[in-house]
Amino acid sequence: MPRVLVVGGTGLAGRAVTAEAVARGPDVVVASRRVPDDDAPGYVTGAAYVTADLVSGAGLEEAVDGADVLIDASNGTGRRAAHVFATGAMNLVQTAARFGVQRSVLLSIAGIDDSRYPYYRAKLAQERVHLDSALDARIVRATQFHDFVTAIFERGRRFGALTAPSGTRFQPIAIADVARVLVDAAEGAGEANGIVTIGGPRVESARSLAQQWREASGTRRPVVPVRLGGALGAAWRAGRNLAPEHALDGTGYAAWLTAGD
Ligand SMILES: NC(=O)c1ccc[n+]([C@@H]2O[C@H](COP(=O)([O-])OP(=O)(O)OC[C@H]3O[C@@H](n4cnc5c(N)ncnc54)[C@H](OP(=O)(O)O)[C@@H]3O)[C@@H](O)[C@H]2O)c1
């Protein structure tokens, strides 16, 4: 197992990646702007934690020093997304190359090509930075996480409802399954400078998934269809978020709801 740096390893996906990497080998470093307490949820025993800021570059040299491969599971929201994904990625790959890191593995999103949605455009720019770098870059594009679609349904909580985007299907995937593919890529699986897409085991309507969450959570709130506007809503209604030909035989939504994993 190579020495692995997990950038954004305190985040939702990053924590699963860190746990998977630690299960396979002892040399795992996590970099993020804040280091969690060792009793915080999601803290992975066995990983070393360092502070680094992709955008300012502070702490990056210390973070990449000694790593063979980096896995980038960072994220940004709102206007900061473009900074984290473009400026941050550039700082990261350039610093990594200077310190002899050989490979980068980037977590990206299925179906982001040709989108007008600003977040997806920022992800494409981030991919491009990794692919154009001096590193052996491997991009793993995943469909929406189980946690993410659940969060969409829960946006209706303040209206006393579960909100399900109308005319939309998802192929949600467990972050543990995504983490396995990312760490496989870190170990050299797949092609150098390649893009792979992975999806959850099943394509289901947002409404059906919301009903499953309703039953599992025991809420009595009704499932209410909402029309999602903008470029994202249009892309999802067109099914651009789906990758049935790349379905993994992993944990489906119903099983994830039961296992909570
Ligand atoms: N949600 C989905 O369904 C889905 C599907 C496919 C792919 N993805 C991709 O998966 C990636 C991870 O998403 P997530 O939901 O797991 O993210 P998240 O929970 O928001 O975690 C983001 C991580 O990035 C770190 N971070 C943010 N800004 C940083 C900076 N300037 N410097 C260093 N670290 C920084 C955060 O730690 P600090 O805040 O402490 O710095 C945290 O560790 C994203 O790129 C997303 O596009 C998501």
Q: Where are the beta strands (DSSP E) in the chain?
A: 4-7, 28-32, 48-51, 69-72, 103-109, 136-142, 162-165, 169-170, 194-198, 204-205, 223-226
Q: What is the amino acid identity at position 231?
A: A
Q: Which residue has the tokens 């990312």?
A: 182
- Separation of CA 184 and ligand 1 centre (Å): 20
- Separation of CA 77 and ligand 1 centre (Å): 9
| 196 in Cβ contact with 139 (< 8 Å) | yes
* Residues with C-beta less than 6 Å from any ligand 1 atom: 8, 10-14, 32-34, 52-55, 73-76, 84, 88, 107, 109, 123, 142, 144-145, 148
What was the pLDDT predicted at 26? Answer: 81
Range scoring the smallest mean pLDDT among 50-54, 81-85, 142-146, 218-222: 81-85
pTM over cut 0.95: yes
Q: Work out which ligand 1 atom sits closest to the CA atom of 108.
A: 7
Residue 169 has pLDDT above 90, yes or no: yes
36 class by beta-carbon count within 10 Å (0-12 exposed, 13-18 middle, 19+ buried)? middle
Position 260 confidence tier, pLDDT thresholds 50, 70, 90: low
Question: Which SS3 state, helix, strand or coil, does residue 5 take?
Answer: strand
Mind giving me the DSSP string for 93-151? HHHHHHTT--EEEEEEETT-TT---HHHHHHHHHHHHHHTSSSEEEEEEE--BHHHHHH
pLDDT tens by residue, 116-151? 999 999 999 999 999 999 999 999 999 999 999 999
Give dist(CA 185, CA 167) in Å, integer. 34
Q: What length does the chain have?
A: 261
Q: Domain segments of the chain: what residues?
A: 4-143+173-198
**Average of per-residue pLDDT values in the chain:** 96
- Separation of CA 146 and ligand 1 centre (Å): 15
Classify domain 4-143+173-198 by CATH number. 3.40.50.720
